[in-house]
């Protein structure tokens, strides 16, 4: 068993190692931040760096003006609860952005929020789609300028000192520390995680230490509630992962609407601020991966699979038949559409013409080759590699995964390389959800999407090519 640790975005701003109390010198590359004084924000300030604006909460009038100045996307770093407070934000920002023809991306960085490399990648993708013509904002600019510094050092090649210098100029949170001390502070990265921040796969030793945490939510996603009654992890709520899917346009087993899935998670007492751990049994890690993928689709990246599932829970003596205490108030799970993880049938059609895209089929070999007659047409997408999902798991327990090195070798031997975009698929998206997480979270492939309709949807189109 192992516990994966992923350094969070917060480590870039709040948990560097103090080196010295003398002025840091930084020769920044690229545009210099310039404060914009002719536009209003409800708090903090507004800065322009190239085509990107970094700000506190804008007003409606500011959004209108920025749209006229070429902004194409609003990236909101405030949580849904913050944005719903009409005393603090006296207008519906999402609706206003859409009225202005702007894309709206919300990555709520709350006190227990998604301070992860995955969140940073979502923000970077939104900026890239619009060539940086964006408004990146929070409440007063602290989160936004911190994200800016993280983006610059991770993606633009700036040293940490250079990135912090840019962020500091716009109100990076470390300014408050320096003001209290009356001294400038220089930082360096250690390569170690700043706080215990488990990645997409956690082991039961970590769970045993953290199981009673106030913000932790455990989900038992085994389809059978009878199994849950017989014994489950302490504090775990039952949520049948199959409830997340249903018919769509008469195609079965499709992910439900964002609103419906958010409602289902809220009924399980999961909110955006919770650290979520998901498990099933040895025959059903796919229910776990599907639930974690669904959370990511809703913009909730702070979710993990428990390596070993219910078997590991039992071995750690964490089984109980008692239900968790009822919540004092219902959980809230605001709807956020994360477009970066999903490939539609239209995306697949476009990718068929783009030889740079790699398709990976997660089904068993006989389904991939079309020898079993399950679907309306049988075979696979032309050129697709076949990596059966079960090859990623340990032979003794399919709820335990192989090492990162073994998984990397498996994909690379199938010709799946990180230098090209990847679309994974299976029958209905369930099996491919495990490949999606392994490639994007464990192996850090930079461009991975899941074709949710899978072969079920693809095979209904007689005009699309089939290979077998």
Domain boundaries, the chain: 10-188, 201-320, 339-458
> What pTM does this model have?
0.72
Question: For residue 181, what pLDDT band results from cuts at 50, 70 and 90?
Answer: low
Looking at residues 35-62, what average pLDDT do you find? Answer: 93
- The encoded tokens of residue 416 equal 């799946």
Q: Could you tell me how far CA 171 lies from the centroid of its own chain?
A: 26
Distances from the Cα of 24 to the Cα of 11, 84, 144, 152, angstroms: 19, 39, 21, 17
pLDDT at position 132 is: 95
Looking at residues 125-152, what average pLDDT do you find? Answer: 91
Domains 10-188 and 201-320 share a fold: no
DSSP summary character for residue 78: S
Phi, psi of 335 (to 5 degrees): -80, 130
CATH class of 339-458: alpha beta
CATH code for the structural domain at 201-320: 3.40.250.10
pLDDT at position 23 is: 31
Q: Which of 76, 138, 341, 426 is catalytic?
A: 426
Mean pLDDT, the chain, rounded, equals: 86
Give the model confidence (pLDDT) of 104-123 as tens digits.
998 888 654 567 778 888 89
- The encoded tokens of residue 61 equal 């009038």
Residue 356 has pLDDT above 70, yes or no: yes
Looking at residues 62-76, what average pLDDT do you find? Answer: 97
Known active-site residue 426: yes
Phi, psi of 450 (to 5 degrees): -110, 120
Q: Which residues contact 366 (CB under 8 A, 6 or more apart)?
A: 372
Q: Which fold has domain 10-188?
A: 3.90.190
274: which strand partners? Answer: none
Give the model confidence (pLDDT) of 261-304 as tens digits.
999 999 999 987 788 999 999 889 999 999 999 999 988 888 99
CB atoms within 10 A of CB 423: 21
């Amino acid at each position: 068993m192992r516990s994966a640790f992923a350094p969070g975005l917060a480590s870039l701003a709040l948990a560097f190692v103090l080196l010295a109390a003398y002025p840091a010198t930084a020769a920044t590359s690229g545009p210099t931040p310039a404060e914009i004084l002719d536009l209003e924000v409800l708090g903090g300030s507004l800065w322009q760096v190239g085509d990107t604006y970094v700000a506190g909460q804008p007003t409606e009038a500011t959004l209108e003006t920025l749209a006229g100045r070429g902004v194409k996307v609003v990236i909101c770093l405030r949580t849904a609860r913050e944005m719903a407070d009409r005393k603090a934000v006296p207008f519906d920002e999402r609706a206003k952005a859409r009225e202005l023809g702007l894309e709206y991306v919300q990555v709520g960085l709350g006190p227990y929020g998604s301070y992860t490399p995955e969140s940073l990648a979502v923000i970077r993708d939104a900026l890239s789609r619009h060539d940086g013509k964006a408004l990146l904002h929070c409440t007063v600019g602290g989160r936004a300028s911190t994200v800016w510094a993280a983006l610059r050092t991770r993606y633009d090649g700036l040293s940490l000192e250079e990135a912090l210098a840019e962020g500091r100029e716009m109100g990076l949170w470390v300014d408050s520390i320096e003001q209290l001390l009356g001294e400038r502070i220089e930082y360096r990265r250690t390569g170690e995680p700043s706080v215990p921040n488990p990645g997409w796969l956690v082991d039961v030793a970590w769970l045993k230490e953290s199981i009673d945490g106030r913000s932790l939510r455990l989900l038992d996603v085994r389809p059978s509630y009878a199994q849950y009654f017989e014994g489950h992890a302490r504090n775990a709520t039952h949520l049948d992962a199959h409830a997340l899917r249903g018919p769509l346009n008469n195609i079965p087993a499709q992910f439900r609407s964002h609103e419906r899935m958010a409602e289902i998670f809220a009924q399980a007492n999961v909110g955006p601020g919770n650290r979520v751990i998901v498990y099933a049994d040895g025959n059903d890690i796919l229910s776990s991966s599907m639930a974690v993928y669904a959370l990511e689709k809703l913009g909730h990246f702070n979710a993990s699979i428990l390596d070993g599932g219910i078997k590991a829970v039992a071995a750690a003596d964490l089984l109980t038949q008692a239900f968790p205490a009822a919540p004092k108030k219902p959980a809230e799970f605001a709807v956020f559409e994360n477009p970066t993880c999903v490939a539609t049938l239209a995306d697949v059609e476009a990718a068929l013409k783009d030889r740079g895209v790699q398709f990976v089929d997660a089904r068993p070999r006989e389904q991939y080759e079309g020898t079993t007659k399950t679907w309306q047409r049988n075979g696979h997408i032309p050129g697709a590699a076949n990596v059966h999902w079960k090859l990623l798991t340990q032979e003794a327990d399919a709820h335990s995964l192989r090492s990162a090195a073994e998984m990397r070798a498996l994909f690379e031997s199938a010709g799946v390389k990180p230098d090209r975009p990847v679309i994974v698929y299976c029958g209905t998206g369930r099996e491919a959800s495990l490949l999606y997480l392994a490639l994007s979270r464990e192996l850090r492939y930079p461009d991975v999407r899941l074709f949710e309709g899978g072969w079920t949807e693809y095979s209904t189109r007689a005009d699309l090519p089939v290979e077998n």
